[in-house]
Amino acid sequence: MAEYKITYKTNSNIVYSCKYHVVWCPKYRRDVLVDGADVRLREIIQEVCRETSSEILEFEIMPDSVHLLVEVDPQFGIHNVIKRIKGRSSRILRQEFRWCRTRLPSLWTNSYFVSTVGGAPLEVIKQYIEQQKSV
């Protein structure tokens, strides 16, 4: 079994290592993240993560789902990061891509999956996310 080194981040008053695997889908699992919407969503996710000082470790956007491996400051919280990503991306993608408005009453489902990475080797999680493209 390969060993890996845990890296820690700091902010003004805490030292942390909080990595999450997050998955969410468009409403009704429709294939709407295509024809440029996927590229625009990638930009929005990167923008929100920069603003929240979250580090994207890996992510894939499929036509019907998003997989994200991200490290988040625990004082900000994973829920707030995902809430910002989903809120902003829903507004922007529905403005810029007509089919996101006409095919769905809202872009995202209310729910999402989140799991702490904990002691799992990051390379295993990254490999899993990369492989989702071919599933």
Residue with tokens 């904990």: 118
Domain assignment present for 80: yes
Domain assignment present for 2: no
State phi, psi for 67 to the nearest 5 degrees. -115, 130
Report the CATH number that the domain containing residue 40 is assigned in CATH: 3.30.70.1290
Domain assignment present for 4: no
Number of domains in the chain: 1
- Cα–Cα distance measured from residue 22 to residue 2, given in angstroms and rounded to the nearest whole number: 24
Domain assignment present for 27: yes
Give the CA distances from residue 66 to residues 31, 34, 75, in Å, rounded to whole numbers and listed in that order: 11, 12, 24
Domain assignment present for 70: yes
Prediction pTM value: 0.84
Domain assignment present for 46: yes
Q: Supply the Cα-derived Rg of the chain in whole angstroms.
A: 15
Do the Cβ atoms of 93 and 37 come closer than 8 Å? yes
DSSP 79: H
Q: Is residue 56 helix, strand or coil?
A: strand
The model's pLDDT over 87-119, given as tens digits with 9 standing for 90+, comes to: 999 999 999 998 888 878 899 999 999 998 866
Domain assignment present for 33: yes
Q: Any alpha helices (H) in the chain, and if so which ranges? A: 37-51, 78-96, 99-102, 122-131
Structural domain harbouring 115? 9-134
Domain assignment present for 1: no
pLDDT of residue 27: 93
The model's pLDDT over 22-76, given as tens digits with 9 standing for 90+, comes to: 999 999 999 999 999 999 999 999 999 999 999 999 999 999 999 999 999 998 8
